[in-house]
Structure 1
Amino acid sequence: MADPVRRGIILKLLNNCDGMSCTETCENMSPSTISFHYKVLRESGLIRSEKVGVQVLNTVRTDEMNKRFPGLLDSILKHHKESKSK
């Protein structure tokens, strides 16, 4: 969550409850860069990737995060939004 790109990905995923593909959340990035950011998010336990047909849909593991670290996700994303508006 320290990287602004990953915070942006999380924010976009949170705004779409049905899940999104990697390319939907990362415009103007090379495939290797997108893959790297998603790997970090998956390995840290922040997102879940599920294959649906030929697409891989990604969702934030909000319930698990809030249970383990109450309020942390909201706090980080609030800070991210505030820093983007400055």
Structure 2
Amino acid sequence: MATSAGTRGEPRYVVLRLTGQRHIEVDGPLADHDYGQLLCDLPEDRCRWVLHTSHPTLITWLPEQASIKERLLYTAANPALRAHLPDTATTV
């Protein structure tokens, strides 16, 4: 599959999650499909971060169906994650 950069084999997105021990880890395989398919693959009731690899952008996925506690944890962890991703120009 082609990536947004036009090359093959390079992932477009990295999906990250917060573990029960409050560590950030990669959630499954890297996604090399388009944005529409990525949205379909994100859980409807769990929060996630998505890092776009071609255009350094961090997306925070906070669905309404996720618990308030989980949404607050992801929101609170955003600054720490951004500190480890200094090249990320945009946060959505």
TM-score by length of 1: 0.31
Query: TM-score, with normalisation over the residues of structure 2?
Result: 0.30
Give the structure with the larger strand fraction: 2
